[in-house]
Structure 1
Amino acid sequence: MGATTSSEVAERYAKRLVTFWREKLNNDAELKNFEFSFIVAPKSGSPFIAYEMSKILNLPLVVHNSKPKFEIDPAMFSSYFDALAQPPKNSVGLIVDDSTTGGAKAMKLIDDLKKFELKATEFLVVFEPEIKDPRLVLANKGVTLHSLVKFRATGKIEK
């Protein structure tokens, strides 16, 4: 979604996601976690939405690099993530992006969080393409997908 590179558009989507998320907090028994200490987003996704959402919720933003910026042993957080500071161990982040297929980008982000004793149990997106069944793929990693809009395999759009 190239439109989300506009701060105004990203802010609108972030506001919609925050409203949607707050409604889920009040009504959804599926949520594994209600408390998050940071927002995390793939750099190759739509980090502007995550940035705007982190501002609204007053949470730190962590941006994931799909490939380490440098190799060092032991691995360093700053090689895999861009952030003002590394979240404390065992912290829980909320993954935010415009969409996901539950593919390599999402799996790598989840695995890299675990390397640093961090986790995410919820993934919040604007739209969910059902074709690759991202809910099932993410559920196998212990992450629940939440979306504003679903694009069904039949071509139907569902809110």
Structure 2
Amino acid sequence: MTQITYQDPNIRFRQGLRYHGTWEHDCWIDGKQHKLVVGDNSYDGRREYFSGLSDEEFVRDVVGRRDTICFTDNNVVPDELVVAFNEWRRVVHVERVLRLTSQPERYGVIHPNDPSLLPFPTVVPVVYRQGAGWIRTGLKENFQ
């Protein structure tokens, strides 16, 4: 797991498990641990794993979660933490690309257009509302 401290030493993140549309991350704020859940595209090609959902529910609850962030308890993630998280992922990506491309003897020659070199998408904060799905809660002026 990659662990890089964001510029604010009181905020730290650590990558966790990625599985069927979500990616869990640990977050420490002033030493207190929290769990963040990021919606991603790891559900692509796995519609059958969500067989208990109608097509409408799948789009609303799984696809609609893509590129979002929330706490596991569904509390609102403050904009400042979202900005810190996005910056942390940018730093993680840069470090990862440098590591992969600087060691061809270990990782092979990676073509510059390889999808594994794509940066992480910017995430926006959301909360889940029954029947409505994922509702954006912040950063509205930047992501409308």
Larger Rg: 2
Same fold flag (TM > 0.5): no
Q: Higher helix proportion, which one?
A: 1
Report the TM-score, using the length of structure 1 for normalisation.
0.30
Q: Higher strand proportion, which one?
A: 2
